[in-house]
Amino acid sequence: MLLDSNLIIYASLPAYAPLRQFIAAHTPAVSVVSVIEVLGYHRLTPLEAMLFQQFFAATLQMPIDDRVVGQAIALRQARRLSLGDSLIAATALIHGRTLLTHDVKDFAGIEGLTVLDPLA
């Protein structure tokens, strides 16, 4: 499984304890894009940054390699995906992982991509 950025953020909120338990039980990987998206948020407090850094340090981070780049290019040519979404979807496709996201509609219809919303 590959965890999308939005679920990482939701999991940091007190109301989402079941999501944290789900993540802990399944130990999904993350794309380096999610690391950039989450840690690059301009309103992150120092405490939040530290907690997210600890989370990412304990999580398998999937890199952007030539195969991911090629797949992301193909996805962007075929669909109107943001750069981040195309790289995350491409990472999941290339590595044969289910994408866990709360934004299922953003990834709907991508051939070969399995998408799951653990909050649904």
State the pLDDT at residue 11.
Answer: 94
Cα distance between the two ends of the chain = 16
CB 8 within 8 A of CB 52: yes
State the pLDDT at residue 20.
Answer: 93
State the pLDDT at residue 42.
Answer: 92
CA distances, 97 to each of 29, 44, 49, 74, 110 (Å): 9, 29, 27, 18, 13
d(C-alpha 9, C-alpha 38), whole Å: 7
Each residue's pLDDT tens digit, 52-86: 999 999 999 999 999 999 999 999 999 889 999 99
Domains along the sequence of the chain with CATH: 2-116 (3.40.50.1010)
Calculate the average pLDDT of the chain: 95
State the pLDDT at residue 43.
Answer: 93
State the pLDDT at residue 108.
Answer: 92
The band of 27, judged by pLDDT with boundaries at 50, 70 and 90, is: confident
d(C-alpha 12, C-alpha 22), whole Å: 13
